[in-house]
């Protein structure tokens, strides 16, 4: 069994990842700013932006899974105008560089980095930050893998939750296939220990639908009904906004099942958001 360091192990993907690694019997160390409650992992307290605690965290591990990120959009669950102009790089670029430097001199045999499908074409500053993080990994001397994933369902849900105040929603007619973090975690664990290296199969959800389809399913599940205004756009424009379809590995969880798990119907029209309970 491997000794694995997981950065971002307290995040949405990270929690599913840690769960699977522990279940598979691996020795798991979670690098976190604030330790969590799990008693079946080692907690290494530190900060990727300052380097605090990183040297001790990497000591004696053979596999690093870098799932930490700082996305202001994901943090607040929606876009602000500032997101179209800049995105902080201290975690995803400088933090990744520190982690790679330490991994090169430590006993690390595999550095598995989590990234995002379509960032080569995307124009958002966060995508540029992720691309730079990937570039550092690919030019490192440590044995590396990069796994790109489509946007996660939780982020799609948060974004749509944030629109409920609007009576009409402009929605791109572009196709995409967002994915559940548990499916991504499954793929990552496989990639971590299959002895392959390099650019790995990207992962997306099981359904290629248009954004309007995803929004309709959200509205059906939540009972929040707003007018959908489909917005036609070229494929290039859609890709620039991160809307594309990943053709590699497919997750197994459909959006409707995920929504069903997160919004439990109570009575005729009341829904309870169970996502917060999960956090």
Give the residues lining the site for ligand NAP (CB under 6 A): 7-8, 10-14, 32-34, 47-49, 67-71, 74, 91, 114, 116, 130, 149, 151-152, 155
Between 33 and 197, whose beta carbon lies closer to ligand NAP? 33
Q: How far is the CB of 265 from ligand NAP (least distance, A)?
A: 26
Q: How far apart are CA 33 and CA 10, in angstroms?
A: 9
Between 32 and 64, whose beta carbon lies closer to ligand NAP? 32
Between 69 and 182, whose beta carbon lies closer to ligand NAP? 69
Between 55 and 265, whose beta carbon lies closer to ligand NAP? 55
SS3 64: strand
Q: How far is the CB of 216 from ligand NAP (least distance, A)?
A: 20
Q: How far is the CB of 15 from ligand NAP (least distance, A)?
A: 8
The torsion angles phi and psi of 110, rounded to 5 degrees, stand at -150, 125
Region of 198 please: left (phi>0), alpha (psi -120 to 50) or beta: left
Q: How far is the CB of 8 from ligand NAP (least distance, A)?
A: 3
Q: How far apart are CA 242 and CA 85, in angstroms?
A: 16
Residue nearest to ligand NAP (CB): 11
Between 57 and 142, whose beta carbon lies closer to ligand NAP? 57
Q: How far is the CB of 167 from ligand NAP (least distance, A)?
A: 27
Q: How many CB atoms lie within 10 A of CB 76?
A: 12
């Amino acid at each position: 069994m491997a000794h694995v360091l997981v950065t971002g192990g307290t995040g949405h993907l990270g929690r599913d990842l840690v769960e699977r690694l522990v279940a598979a019997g691996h020795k798991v160390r979670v690098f976190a700013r604030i330790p969590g409650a799990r008693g079946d992992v080692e907690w290494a307290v530190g900060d990727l932006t300052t380097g605090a605690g990183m040297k001790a965290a990497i000591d004696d591990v053979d596999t690093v899974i870098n799932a930490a990120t700082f996305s202001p959009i994901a943090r607040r669950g929606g876009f602000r105008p500032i997101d179209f102009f800049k995105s902080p790089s201290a975690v995803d670029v400088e933090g990744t560089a520190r982690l790679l430097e330490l991994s090169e001199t430590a006993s690390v045999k595999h550095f598995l980095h989590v990234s995002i499908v379509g960032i080569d074409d995307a124009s958002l500053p966060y995508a540029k930050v992720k691309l730079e993080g990937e570039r550092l990994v690919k030019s490192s001397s440590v044995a590396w893998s990069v796994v790109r994933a489509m946007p996660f369902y939780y982020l799609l849900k948060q974004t749509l939750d944030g629109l409920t105040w609007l009576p009409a929603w402009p929605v791109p007619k572009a196709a995409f296939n967002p994915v559940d973090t548990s499916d991504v975690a499954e793929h990552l664990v496989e990639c971590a220990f299959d002895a392959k290296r390099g650019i790995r199969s990207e992962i997306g959800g099981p359904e290629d639908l248009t954004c309007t389809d995803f929004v309709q399913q959200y509205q059906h599940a939540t009972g929040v009904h707003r007018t959908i205004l489909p917005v036609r756009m070229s494929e290039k424009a859609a890709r620039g906004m991160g809307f594309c379809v990943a053709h590699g590995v497919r997750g197994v969880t459909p959006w409707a099942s995920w929504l069903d798990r997160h919004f439990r119907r109570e009575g005729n029209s009341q829904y309870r958001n169970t996502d917060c309970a999960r956090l």
